[in-house]
Amino acid sequence: MSDVQLGMFLSGGIVSSAIAAVMSGLVDAPIKTFSVAFAEREANELRYARLVAGRFRTDHHEVTVPPEEFFAALPKLIWHEDEPIAHPSSVALYFVSKLAAEHVKVVLTGEGSDESLAGYGSTWMTLSNLRIGQRYQALTPRRIRNTVERAISGLPVSSRLRHRLRKSFFCVEPTIESMYFDNFAVFPRAMQATLLSPTAKEHLNGTTDPYRTMSSIFDSVRSKEMLDRMLYTDTKTYLHELLMKQDQMSMAASIESRVPFLDHKLLEFTAAMPNRMKLRGRTTKYVLRKAMEGVLPDEILSRGIMGFPVPIGKWFRGEFRHLIDEYVLSERSLARGLFEPAAVRNIVDRHMMGENHDERLWSLVNLEMWQRSLIEGDIIA
């Protein structure tokens, strides 16, 4: 625990709910819990957070962030991160940290649990795509595979089914690179080939190849179990970014965050645990869900994975489309020569038609904001 005032971030997911349950049993006074959400229903988990807060009678606080305040905070937070902000959830994290700082000095968060307990939905999806995809490739004639791929491409651009199938073994070669490494890439290698300008490719030639780095880490794992290799690689790569985000956004609000799931003894324990205790079918964090039976509400135990959703794609299609025009499509942005203008416009057009390119547009907006504010000294309001 801590010698100073202590609280926690509560999303209503299995991990933060488990932390709330344990904390409540260790102190006499109600623990302080903090949640953040957006007005959009698809990005609002407050119902679940309130359910857990009510179960353990916490001193609960919430903040709902309007998109105007979200985007207004971006220049300041880019300065704090000292680089383009990779995750839109960083901004939400700042606002909930700011709320918590009004009440406590230290907060607990659930970072690290996904990497140690196979918490990402993409994990079981990757394993399934690899296993089934290799059989599909081996047993299905090429002409039939081509027909299936054309049929999928013919679905409406805005179709969620089309989006999912185009990332599955029906349309993607079932390899570790395409099914796993590309999960981390906002712009997968195939897209980079058409997006990056010749000048950018020349500058990047000879620099560290992130795919090669990940492959080296993946291959270094002694276990032959695919899940072991994936979780170790997640821990050595993606988790570093999450912890940096956690630290910088909380410190921007003058509060300290701590990560109990990264206690080294707990990590050693979960690493030695059989994989069936982490991922069972589509059930992620299986052992944690079993341990919390009878402690947490059934609605929390059976919840699917929601992550930390931010409706950035919807905002870019709506009243904040002007940010795309200013920071992605403007003459000043395109004149930098980093990207092929036609490829950039294609990404924007497809997003506006209904495909989901929110992370890509977010990255392009942030890169240009960072360039203008930290490199060129513009004051962005």
DSSP 128-163: HHHHHHHHHHHHS-HHHHHHHHHHHHTS-TT-HHHH
Under 8 Å between Cβ of 218 and 176: yes
Distance of alpha carbon 359 from the chain centroid: 10
Radius of gyration of the chain (CA): 22
- Give me the pLDDT at residue 346, please: 94
Q: Where are the beta strands (DSSP E) in 266-347?
A: none
CA dist 81 and 91 (Å) reads 11
CA dist 347 and 324 (Å) reads 11
Report the candidate in 214, 226, 216 with the shortest Cα–Cα distance to residue 189.
Answer: 214
Report the candidate in 350, 116, 333, 373 with the shortest Cα–Cα distance to residue 235.
Answer: 116
Sheet containing 106-108, strands listed edge to edge, beginning at the edge strand earlier in sequence: 59-64, 32-37, 6-9, 106-108, 256-258
Q: Where are the alpha helices (DSSP H) in 188-237?
A: 189-195, 198-204, 210-220, 226-236
Question: Does the global pTM surpass 0.85?
Answer: yes
- Give me the pLDDT at residue 159, please: 64
* Cα pseudo-dihedral 294, 300, 302, 306, rounded to 10: -160
Per-residue pLDDT 10s for the chain (381 aa) are 556 689 999 999 999 999 999 999 999 999 999 999 998 888 788 999 999 999 999 999 999 999 999 999 999 999 999 999 999 999 999 999 999 999 999 999 999 999 999 999 888 888 888 888 888 888 888 888 888 888 887 777 556 677 677 777 777 777 888 888 888 889 988 889 999 999 999 988 877 788 899 999 999 998 889 999 999 999 999 999 999 999 999 999 999 999 999 999 999 999 999 999 999 988 999 999 999 999 999 999 998 777 778 999 999 999 999 999 999 999 999 999 999 999 999 999 999 998 899 999 999 999 999 999 999 988 876
CA dist 118 and 57 (Å) reads 30
Containing 63, the helix (H) or strand (E) segment is strand 59-64
Report the candidate in 23, 30, 39, 184 with the shortest Cα–Cα distance to residue 109.
Answer: 23
Whole-angstrom CA distances from 114 to 15, 121, 266, 293, 355 are 9, 9, 13, 19, 27
Residue with structure tokens 């992605």? 328
Containing 258, the helix (H) or strand (E) segment is strand 256-258
Domain 6-118+233-301 has CATH 3.40.50.2300: no
Burial call 138-177: b when 16+ CB within 10 Å, e when fewer = eeeeeeeeeeeeeebeeeeeeeeebeebbbbbbebebebb
Containing 70, the helix (H) or strand (E) segment is helix 67-72
CA dist 312 and 320 (Å) reads 9
**Domain ranges within the chain, ordered by starting residue:** 6-118+233-301, 312-375
Report the candidate in 270, 260, 381, 267 with the shortest Cα–Cα distance to residue 326.
Answer: 381
* CB neighbours of residue 50 within 10 Å: 17
Under 8 Å between Cβ of 285 and 117: yes
